[in-house]
Structure formats: C-alpha cells, structure tokens
C-alpha cells in the first residue's frame, strides 16, 4: 500500500505498477497451468514449474542485490533526508516497482490457489 501511495508523487509510477501487476498475473496463470499436485495420505504436495521458480528467484535476487549496492551509496542521503527520502527513491525506481508487484501478485495468486485446493481436498476427506 505504501508503494502505491508513494506512486502518487510520480504518476508515471502507476504505469510501472500496472506493468508489474500484469506480469505477475501472467506468471501466476502460467504457474497454475503447470503446477504438479500430489495427494499422499491426505497431505497435498505441490511443485511449480521449474521456469516459474527460476524467474521468481532471479527477480528476487536481482532486486535484492541491486538494492544492497544502492543502499551503500545512499547512506549519506538517508542521514540527511531520513526514511522519507528512501521511500521516494523506491517509488521512482521502475525496476523495484515492477519487481515488487510481479512477486506480490504471483505470491498472492498462487497462495489463493493452494488454499482453494486444500479446502477442496478437505471437503473430499469429510
């Protein structure tokens, strides 16, 4: 929610948010089509497609490592401007906004899918 609020300072950031949401939806749909589900002894095991796992891992690691590098360079800006300066910086960075929304939409969508499958399996066992 904070990232969407920070986007109001830079309206172009909403475009990056939308791109991230759409890419996240595409990744979620692809993951749901290629998920393998196995029910062993009443316990549901699932595994996503290898490429989906790889994409999610690469997005996370890329943004994490690039953030570490940028934070080291921003230490003086943080001391002068506080955390608000850092939040504004995050809202201006397209890669961060896109990456965040791709991961957020993917994890929320896939989690709902897993919860739905769990309830279906629970209802069958009753």
Whole-model pTM over 0.95: no
| Residue-wise pLDDT tens digits, 13-59 | 788 889 999 999 999 999 999 988 887 877 778 888 899 999 999 98
Per-residue pLDDT, 108: 93
Alpha-carbon distance of 83 to 10, in angstroms, equals 18
**Contact predicate 24/101, CB 8 Å:** yes
Domain region containing 62: 2-125
3-state secondary structure of 87: helix
Q: Tens of pLDDT along 67-79?
A: 777 777 766 666 6
pLDDT in tens, 103-116: 999 999 999 998 88
pLDDT recorded at residue 119 = 83
Residue 1 has pLDDT above 90, yes or no: no
How many domains are contained in the chain? 1
Start-end of H helices in 74-93: 75-92
Q: Which of 6, 4, 11, 12 is nearest to 84 (CA)?
A: 6
């Amino acid at each position: 929610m904070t990232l969407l609020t920070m986007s109001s300072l830079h309206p172009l950031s909403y475009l990056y948010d939308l791109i991230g949401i759409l890419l996240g939806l595409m990744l979620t749909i692809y993951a749901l089509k290629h998920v393998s589900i196995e029910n062993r002894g009443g316990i549901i095991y699932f595994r996503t497609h290898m490429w989906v796992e790889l994409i999610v891992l690469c997005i996370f690691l890329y943004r994490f490592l690039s953030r570490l590098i940028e934070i080291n360079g921003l230490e003086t800006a943080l001391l002068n401007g506080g955390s608000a300066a850092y939040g504004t910086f995050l809202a201006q960075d397209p890669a961060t906004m896109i990456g965040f929304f791709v991961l957020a939409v993917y994890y929320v969508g896939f989690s709902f899918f897993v919860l739905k499958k769990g309830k279906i399996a629970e209802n069958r066992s009753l």
